[in-house]
Structure 1
Amino acid sequence: MMFGTFAPADQITVMLVVGGATLLISLLLFFTFAGGESFSRQSKRRLIEISQGEKTMSKPKSGTSARRSQDTSGIKLLDALLKRLIPNPDLLRSRLEKTGFKITVFKYATATVLFIANIFVFCYFLYGLPLMLAIPISIASGLFLPHVIVGYLGGRRIKKFMKTFPEAIELLCRGLRAGLPISEAIVTVGHDAPDPVGAEFRGVANAMRVGQSIEQGLWNVSKRIDLPDFKFLIIAISIQRETGGNLAETLGGLANTLRKRRQIKLKIKAMSSEARASAWIIGSLPFIMFFLLWLANGSYVMTLLEDPRGMYMIGVGLTMIASGVGVMAKMVRFEI
């Protein structure tokens, strides 16, 4: 075992330090699930107030209960346990809907438990880590990996949506200029636009068929496509329905603005590519050198892991690397 050469006091110290760090990561992830984005909530509430001309009303409980009934496992004990363990299921459910896949809270919780179990088996039985160290590592990794995967899938779908969204607005404008009503133009976009834009507009068309208004159907889509660009479209349609005016001209200007914003973002990404490449190289170089030195002289490198002072040095080094990469990532990220 890796800790076989430690004194008992040193083993306890190392386990407490590493276990405390993993516990801190677990708490941060817990508060990430539990907490919401107050600015995003205020923005959504303000946009709804503008579109409806009044303060937002509470959503009917029937729709919420119908949606939650789809997330149940059919076992009352498991459902009650999930409600107690997940502090903010609505926020988690919203993140799962952004992926475009039919992932329920129960499936997500099951996948998280499987991740934790597999990582624990790998750390404790295969790698031989102590029990006090394997448990916090497996919990932290099991909570972190599904969270990152869901965030990646949601971000990838939103980026794919934004690639064809300006063209979808142009198609909507052409339908309005041809004399179609806004409802028929939305149906046309749903049939002709590629997914995920077409899929979302088809959902709006289906919502209109069952009696919902255009604005309500679009606001339901905005829960999955949480972008200000899409909310601009909803506000433009809402204002036109209340005050009148040339909606085709307004949406044409919106499509042109979105296309220019996308061009600016791509230009900034190209100009900041050098800094992002430097961040990747600087962040990965210590790990590459550690691996190469381990291949050349394993006993020399393993002194860092066998000596408690080496463990502290590794912790300080990883903290400094994470801070430097985080600062560089923040410097090349711009809001447009």
Structure 2
Amino acid sequence: MDGKIILMAVLLATLLGLVMAAFSGPSPDKARKRRIALIRGRHSDSAEAVLEARMRRVIDSRQPVTEMKMLVSLIPDPENLTKRLRMTGRKWTLSQYMTACSVIFLFTAAVMMLRGFPLLFALMVSLAAGLGLPHWWVGRLINKRINLFNAKFPDALELLTRGLRSGLPIAETLAVVAAEIPGPVGEEFRLITERIKIGKTMDQALQETADRLGTAEFQFFVISLAIQRETGGNLAETLSNLATVLRQRAQMKLKIRAMSSESKASAYIIGALPFIVFGLISYINFDYMSPFYTSDPMGLFGLSLMQVIGIGGMCWMGIGAFIMAQMINFEI
């Protein structure tokens, strides 16, 4: 019992330390120096200062990968995770991501140990929660941003088409899109124009954005520009046709979503009902569900029979949810 109390105290102290490190603000001296440098660069008329300010904005939009090496060193593939964090459109770093994972792990472990779960089982579930929940949340933000981008991207192509037909060059039309289209589309085109201004070619700037977004719609746009640059032709007409194709793809996706909405609702209800009933029974009559919360030293890994049955049921539910998800997943 004393050992468990000591372990709980260590977990809570570590949790508080990580929370304080995560929410502590930057150094006031560094922030003041950075603001002074930005003001000087903004009000300077020299070409070097303007170029330096542009490069600083582009560099600030990238995610650093060398902070809090103790936590970052635990990541098996930091480049892939850095790319995923950039795809969210948020200025999150690897250290912040690993801090969130550690906080979730320690909090879940502390709660489960207070409820009397075995140490090994609590650590396994906490590890799964600490690694799985941030990964799921980042994926959800990525999908949300990509959907917003795809919804506004045909409008951006139409604006590019009108700009080209009016006689503007492609670089200026990209700047117009960056200024006129809100949301992720304007942000991505703004980064493209900034990269072009600091010396990168249009192909390099577009390809970097395509690699970060990872969407087929923007890749179509990059390929269309590359082919038109090599073979010639009417770029405005090409972009207009591409906008029409992208809108038809979006309509097909919405049609498939509407046709599969009933199956998805049934799957959500069937999957959530056992957990809702379990929570309600635990709240109404905790003594009835107490065998699920108590450990058994003679059981498997210190788990009671009820806990083993619950784990088995969740595994079977996970298999069923995976099968249903694959049945309604259509590639367009």
Q: TM-score range by the shorter chain?
A: 0.7 to 0.9
Q: Which residue of 1 aligns with 2:90?
A: 101
Contact 2:72 2:95 survives alignment (8 Å):
no
Alpha-carbon offset, residue 154 of structure 1: 1.3
State which of 246, 249, 255 in structure 1 corresponds to 2:243.
Answer: 255
The residue number in structure 2 matching 1:117 is: 106
Counterpart Cα distance in 1 of 2:201 and 2:107: 47
Equivalent of 2:321 in 322, 325, 336: 325
| Pair 310,107 (structure 1): closer, same or farther in 2 beyond 3 Å | closer
Q: Which residue of the other structure, out of 69, 72, 93, is the alignment partner of 2:66?
A: 72
Mapped partners of 1:293, 1:140: distance in 2: 25
Q: What do the CA deviations read for 1:33-73 (whole angstroms, capped 9, x no partner)? A: xxxxxxxxxxxxxxxxxxxxxxxxxxxxxxxx999993322
CA contact (8 A) 2:62 2:86 kept: no
TM-score (norm 1): 0.73
Give the C-alpha shift of residue 295 in structure 1. Answer: 4.8
Q: Secondary structure at the match of 1:188?
A: helix
Of 154, 163, 178, which residue of structure 1 is paired with 2:166?
178
Write out per-residue CA displacement over residues 126-166 of structure 1, whole angstroms, 9 at most, x where no aligned residue: 32333223222222211111111111111111111111001
Please report how far the alpha carbon of residue 325 of structure 1 lies from its aligned counterpart in structure 2 after TM superposition. 1.8
> Any unmatched runs of 5+ in structure 1?
2-64
Q: Which runs of 5+ in 2 are unaligned?
A: 2-58, 297-303
Match of 1:280 in 2: 268
Q: Is the 8 A contact 2:195 2:205 kept in 1?
A: yes
Partners of 2:108 and 2:126 within 8 A in 1: yes
CA shift at 1:278, angstroms? 0.7
2:309 — aligned with what?
313
* Corresponding residue SS for 2:116: coil
Residue identity matched to 1:97: R
1:153 counterpart (118, 141, 145): 141
- Relative distance call for 1:294 and 1:108 in structure 2 (3 A) is closer
Residue 92 (structure 1) aligns with? 81
| Structure 1 position 219, deviation (Å) | 1.0
Partner amino acid, structure 2, of 1:110: T
Amino acid at match of 1:319: C
Deviations 1:18-40 (A, max 9, x none): xxxxxxxxxxxxxxxxxxxxxxx
Report the Cα distance in structure 1 between the residues aligned to 2:325 and 2:72, rounded to whole angstroms: 36
- Structure possessing the higher relative contact order (Cα contacts under 8 Å, 6 or more residues apart): 1
Seen in structure 2, the aligned counterparts of structure 1 residues 158 and 329 have a Cα distance that, compared at 3 Å, is same
Note closer, same or farther for the CA distance 1:137–1:318 as it changes in structure 2 (3 Å cut): closer
Kindly state the Cα deviation for residue 212 of structure 1 after the two structures are TM-superposed. Answer: 1.1
Shift of 1:315: 2.3
TM-score by length of 2: 0.74
Q: Using the alignment, how far apart are the partners of 2:253 and 2:167 within structure 1?
A: 34
Aligned-partner residue type, residue 112 of structure 1: C
Q: Secondary structure at the match of 1:85?
A: coil
Q: Deviations over 1:253-294 (max 9, x none)?
A: 110000000001001101111100110111112223333444
What is the RMSD computed on CA atoms of the aligned residues? Answer: 2.4
Counterpart of 2:213 in 1: which secondary structure?
coil
The structure-2 alpha-carbon separation of the partners of 1:199 and 1:244, relative to structure 1 and needing over 3 Å to count, comes to same
Instruction: Answer whether contact 2:115 2:293 (CA < 8 A) is retained.
Output: no
Tell me, what secondary structure is at the counterpart of 1:224? helix
Query: Please, which moves more after superposition, 257-266 or 113-122?
Result: 113-122
- For the residue of structure 2 that corresponds to 1:129, the secondary structure is coil
Aligned length: 267
Relative distance call for 1:296 and 1:102 in structure 2 (3 A) is: closer
Q: Which amino acid aligns with 2:236?
A: A
2:273 and 2:320 map into 1 onto residues whose CA distance is 13
